[in-house]
Amino acid sequence: MIAMALANNPDVLIADEPTTALDVTVQAQILNLIRDLQKTLGMAVILITHDLTVVLQFSDYVYVMQNGEVKEHNTTPALFENPQHPYTRHLLNSEPKGVANPMPVDSAAILEGRNVRVSFMLKHGGFFKPQLKELVAVDSLSIKLHRHETLGIVSESGSGKTTFGQALVKLLTADGGEILFDGQSIEKKTRDEMRPLRSRMQIVFQDPFSSLNPRMSVGQIIEEGLVVNKLGATRNERLERVKEALNSAGLPNNILSRFPHEFSGGQRQRIAIARAVALEPEFILLDEPTSALDLSVQAQIIELLRKLQDEKGLSYLFISHDLKVVRALCHRVVVMQHGKIVEEGPVEDVLTHPKTAYTERLVRAAFRSSRISKEA
């Protein structure tokens, strides 16, 4: 995409959210590349982003917008050190805060993976003599998630964390190992055999716009799972559960006839969460649920997930590359690299005293600007 933009040797490059949904190390590589190209080609760059860490590290001058209006503008150091407008101060104070609420003592395990392995066969070589090569995406991993616990899985992009999560809920078929849900072995269950368990385990995906059917109304989207799993004896009973789920997700229940494109990214993610909690699950897989959201909306979603966990006793497997969100939401964290677990433990221990160079690099990339942001 960058090469395409540079093909005409532009004087100005408009980079619109170029690092959204990228992990912190790849994000740094892309931004360093843009900065090097800027110096080499002598071009100006307009960087559009909701990530204040990116703004602080790579911008010379900042314009803060709200509702189509510029609320404040200044040099980057001056704006971060002495913000004038209330909205700017709100943005600077919107970094994920707090920690996970304490979980009950001696909670039983709800999800367990033992030596789970997932591989794919890739073709390479010539067209007439292609060769197959095995790519091991998940290399004999073992984890245990307890009831009322949030377990984070973090890594760079391409390390296998999403593949691992999907294998644990049998959206992908594992090549080996054992997967237990509430003490019941599920790795060999067929699709029909898994159906009774599906309402007890739900998923919230990374991109709420892609995961919501654009041709279905909000009411239909949330009710669909109830119909498929035969929950609710009558239409009115299902409708009440839909409204209750919307209220739990912090949305009004008068939006049932509206469609996904009519909502903001944060509202769409709340709809996705409402769809999941409508089935009254015990466990939710959260796959990068805040990566495409701005900081203030991220904070709202984190608070919502904490509230739902306390009210409904949910267990979360939280996949993310954003260590600030992981610190605010998770009890424990697992660090993955190239399909393997390189470190795991309580969140504060791992993020404060990383034992491997890889984890230390992730932590340094994620938190290097936190001091200035907190001072602001």
Residues 181, 293, single domain; the answer is yes
Looking at the fold, whether 28 and 141 belong to one and the same domain comes out as no
pLDDT mean across residues, the chain = 88
Backbone Cα Rg of the chain: 22
C-beta pairs of 218-221 under 8 Å, 24+ apart in sequence:
218/246, 218/255, 218/256, 218/257, 218/258, 218/259, 218/260, 218/271, 219/256, 219/257, 221/260, 221/271, 221/275
pLDDT, position 32: 87
Residue 177 has pLDDT above 70, yes or no: yes
Please state, in angstroms and rounded to a whole number, the distance separating the CA atoms of residues 74 and 88.
11
- DSSP-derived letter for residue 261 is G
Inside any domain, residue 68 = yes
- Do 67 and 120 reside in the same domain of the chain? no
The answer to whether residue 133 is domain-embedded is yes
In a domain, 354, yes or no: yes
Looking at the fold, whether 294 and 248 belong to one and the same domain comes out as yes
- Residue 98 within any structural domain of the chain: no
Total number of domains constituting the chain = 2
The residue type of 193 is E
Tell me whether residue 38 is in a domain: yes
Task: Please say which residue of 59, 92, 125 terminates a domain.
Answer: 92
CB within 8 A of 201, min separation 6: which ones?
111, 169, 181, 281, 282, 283, 284, 285
Identify whether residues 314 and 273 lie together within a single domain: yes
Same domain flag for 118 and 204: yes
Q: Are residues 75 and 131 in the same domain?
A: no
Q: Is the pTM of this model over 0.85?
A: no
pLDDT grade for 357, boundaries at 50, 70 and 90: very high
Are both 123 and 30 inside the same structural domain? no
- Is 185 part of any domain? yes
Domain boundary among 92, 124, 139: 92
Among 58, 92, 126, give the residue marking a domain's end.
92
Amino acid residing at 183:
G
Q: In what order do the strands lie in the sheet containing 109-125?
A: 130-146, 109-125, 176-181, 184-185
Residue 102 inside a domain? The answer is no
pLDDT the model gives residue 374? 41
Does residue 181 lie within any of the structural domains? yes
Q: What is the CATH number of the domain that holds 63?
A: 3.40.50.300
What is the model's pLDDT at position 99? 86
Say if residues 352 and 360 touch (Cβ distance below 8 Å): no
Nearest-angstrom CA–CA distance, 52 and 40? 25
Return the minimum-mean-pLDDT range out of 4-8, 189-193, 315-319. Answer: 4-8
Same domain, 174 and 315: yes
pLDDT tens digits along 54-90: 888 889 999 999 889 999 999 999 999 999 999 999 8
Q: What single DSSP character describes residue 102? A: P
Same domain, yes or no, for 232 and 165? yes
**Residues 280 and 316 occupy one common structural domain:** yes
Give the model's confidence band at 21: pLDDT under 50 very low, under 70 low, under 90 confident, else very high.
low
- Its domain, for residue 228, covers 109-367
192, 275: one domain: yes
How would you class 366 by CB atoms within 10 Å of its CB: exposed for 0-12, middle for 13-18, buried for 19 or more?
Answer: buried
Q: Tens of pLDDT along 102-152?
A: 888 888 999 999 999 999 988 877 677 778 888 899 999 999 999 999 999
